[in-house]
Amino acid sequence: MTHPAQPIASHFINGEYVEDAAGTPIPVIYAYTGEQIATVHAATPAIVDAALASAEAGQKIWAKMSGTERGRVLRRAADILRERNHDLSVLETYDTGKPLQETLVADATSGADALEYFGGLAGSLTGEHIPMGEDWVYTVREALGVCVGIGAWNYPTQIACWKGAPALACGNSMVFKPSETTPLCALKVAEILHEAGLPAGVYNVIQGMGEVGGALVTDPRVAKVSLTGSVPTGRKVYAAAAADMKHVTMELGGKSPMIVFDDADIDNAVGGAINGNFYSSGQVCSNGTRVFVQKGIKEKFLARLAERTGNAVLGDPMDEATSFGPMVTENQMNIVLGYVEKGKAEGARLICGGKRADRDGFFVEPTVFADVTDDMTIAREEIFGPVMSVLDFDTEEEVVARANDTEFGLSAGVFTKDFTRAHRVIGNLEAGSCFINSYNDAPVEAPFGGVKASGVGRENSKEAIKHFSQVKSVYVRMGDVEAAF
């Protein structure tokens, strides 16, 4: 019998599901059971071409509609996502292995937030009137054209919406390529957008590995590429997009610092460290994986952290009591376990976890290392799993310098009761998305994105509008033209 997660077909182009079985089969494996629950096919060149052609035609129709009309479609789609939240959350859990306890509140719901927010903004995207005496200049905020979205595997519904909603609000069309690891959820987003009244071709989804992404990025019909992925992929995609001077948004990896001062509320800081390391089993780009704890509270912090980490409920992701799920794939589990072994070998002190859980599924126990030093591999490289490194520090000046000593710059957090210090420290940290006495909040109203190798551009908030539109300026002369001859 066909598993309920199996989509009708692999791709969604020009308003309908499309199959081309000549494409390489991509198995979809449920991370909890290891069972193959679905198969999709990578896009063939014919599918890539059909998706881009339909996006090009759809964009022309979509851009002619008023912003208010476009916004209405996005807001209707948001309502449908919310109505179907339970089923979409189950699908997200099948796609990623994340527990239903999380997916019910973090995935289709945050996708709906983005559609609602950008749907609300769509009618207000206007230009300026700039008086120049008798003459004037006016500006027009225009769509870019066909945009390509390429997703990572940790938040397949959210990424499809975070890219699609601002792109569509501005009058662009999109071809979205989900990660080959999690191909299911974006198809539902496309289906729901069209059910909400989107003209055919405005939001298309095609499957495939990096080479399909590469074919999209280099196609001359594409005006913009928005990638969520790792830094090495970001470098390749940014370089490929540069050939045609395409616009880019790069949402890449991180190794973010979370700094806990002696005066912090310990339970809040421990809560922040848990949210910033173990949510989605640590598969979150903005995670605060270098937890710097001031020496005076170090042992107290570690004891409370170990105690609370012991409360994680590993289990069936479909059971709402489960609060910690498996890694997305066996391969990702092995990568993470490799880092755990490196941490042990390089002399970090294991506080808890440190191995594959003794149960079915690709589970790595929530792991905390203490006495981590700046040069250890686990303190330098993005692990993308549930491995927290706790480092000690003495002074503010020292910790800021050490926190910034990384190629990454996605996020940063500080826990302290001294508000002057909190703002001063955040002001000195090289990161795009920061937190004071909190960690990993990502409301659609707030800009999200990184500095340094963690990326360029911003998602969410009004900032995203700037990255999915361009400004035309028009000088209007009311009098005669003066010329030298």
Q: Mind telling me the catalytic residues?
A: 163, 251, 285, 459
User: What are the structure tokens assigned to 463, written together?
Assistant: 């900032």
By CB under 6 A, how many residues form the interface with ligand NAD? 28
Least distance (Å) between residue 158 CB and ligand NAD: 9
Q: Does 384 bind ligand NAD (CB under 6 A)?
A: yes
User: What are the structure tokens assigned to 464, written together?
Assistant: 């995203």
Burial class (CB in 10 A: 0-12, 13-18, 19+), 480: exposed
Of 109 and 228, which CB lies nearer to ligand NAD in the complex structure? 228
Least distance (Å) between residue 251 CB and ligand NAD: 3
Stretch that binds ligand NAD, among 76-84, 104-112, 149-157, 356-364 (CB under 6 A): 149-157
| Beta carbons within 8 Å of 12's beta carbon, 6+ residues apart | 18, 187, 190, 191, 203, 204, 205
User: What are the structure tokens assigned to 258, written together?
Assistant: 């979370």
- By C-alpha distance, which of 286, 385, 306, 402 is closest to 341? 385
Of 197 and 232, which CB lies nearer to ligand NAD in the complex structure? 232
Among 54, 110, 179, 460, the residue binding ligand NAD under the rule CB under 6 A is: 179
Stretch that binds ligand NAD, among 35-43, 60-68, 248-256, 262-270 (CB under 6 A): 248-256
Among 82, 221, 236, 421, the residue binding ligand NAD under the rule CB under 6 A is: 236
Among 123, 127, 210, 271, the residue binding ligand NAD under the rule CB under 6 A is: 210
Least distance (Å) between residue 22 CB and ligand NAD: 19
Q: How many angstroms separate the Cα of 63 from the Cα of each of 135, 146, 161, 197, 264?
A: 29, 11, 19, 14, 51
Between 320 and 359, how does the x/- string for binding to ligand NAD read (CB under 6 A)? ----------------------------------------
Least distance (Å) between residue 300 CB and ligand NAD: 31
**411 φ/ψ angles, rounded to the nearest 5 degrees:** -135, 170
Residue type, 45: P
Q: Does 251 bind ligand NAD (CB under 6 A)?
A: yes
Of 206 and 269, which CB lies nearer to ligand NAD in the complex structure? 206
- By C-alpha distance, which of 440, 443, 411, 441 is closest to 426? 411
Stretch that binds ligand NAD, among 21-29, 115-123, 211-219, 419-427 (CB under 6 A): 211-219
Of 10 and 294, which CB lies nearer to ligand NAD in the complex structure? 10
Q: What residues numbered 152-171 form the site for ligand NAD, per CB under 6 A?
A: 152-154
Residue with tokens 């569509």: 168
Least distance (Å) between residue 434 CB and ligand NAD: 14
**388 φ/ψ angles, rounded to the nearest 5 degrees:** -100, 135
Among 172, 233, 249, 329, the residue binding ligand NAD under the rule CB under 6 A is: 233
Q: Does 214 bind ligand NAD (CB under 6 A)?
A: yes
Q: Does 218 bind ligand NAD (CB under 6 A)?
A: no
Among 38, 237, 348, 387, the residue binding ligand NAD under the rule CB under 6 A is: 237
Q: Residue 357, Cβ neighbours under 10 Å: how many?
A: 17
User: What are the structure tokens assigned to 322, written together?
Assistant: 């489960």
Least distance (Å) between residue 216 CB and ligand NAD: 7
Strand runs (DSSP E) across 394-430, as ranges?
A: 411-415
Least distance (Å) between residue 448 CB and ligand NAD: 7
How far is Cα 135 from Cα 397, in angstroms, rounded to an integer? 54
Backbone CA torsion sign across 341, 415, 102, 192: negative
Among 7, 166, 171, 229, the residue binding ligand NAD under the rule CB under 6 A is: 229
Among 285, 336, 348, 414, the residue binding ligand NAD under the rule CB under 6 A is: 285
Q: Which residue is nearest to ligand NAD (CB)?
A: 213
**233 φ/ψ angles, rounded to the nearest 5 degrees:** -65, -40
Q: Does 213 bind ligand NAD (CB under 6 A)?
A: yes
- DSSP letter string over 126-175? ---EEEETTEEEEEEEEE-SEEEEE--SS-HHHHHHHHHHHHHHTT-EEE
Q: Residue 299, Cβ neighbours under 10 Å: how many?
A: 11
Among 5, 57, 63, 209, the residue binding ligand NAD under the rule CB under 6 A is: 209
- Using only the alpha carbons of the chain, give its radius of gyration: 24
Q: Does 92 bind ligand NAD (CB under 6 A)?
A: no
- DSSP letter string over 85-99? HHHHHHHHHHHH---
Least distance (Å) between residue 132 CB and ligand NAD: 41
β-pair type (455-456, 257-260)? unpaired
Strand runs (DSSP E) across 269-317, as ranges?
A: 290-294
Q: What residues numbered 443-472 form the site for ligand NAD, per CB under 6 A?
A: 455
Q: What residues numbered 252-271 form the site for ligand NAD, per CB under 6 A?
A: 252-254
Of 72 and 221, which CB lies nearer to ligand NAD in the complex structure? 221
Residue type, 249: T
Q: How many angstroms separate the Cα of 79 from the Cα of each of 68, 117, 185, 196?
A: 16, 12, 17, 9
Site residues for ligand NAD per CB under 6 A: 150-154, 177, 179-180, 209-210, 213-214, 217, 228-230, 233, 236-237, 251-254, 285, 382, 384, 410, 455
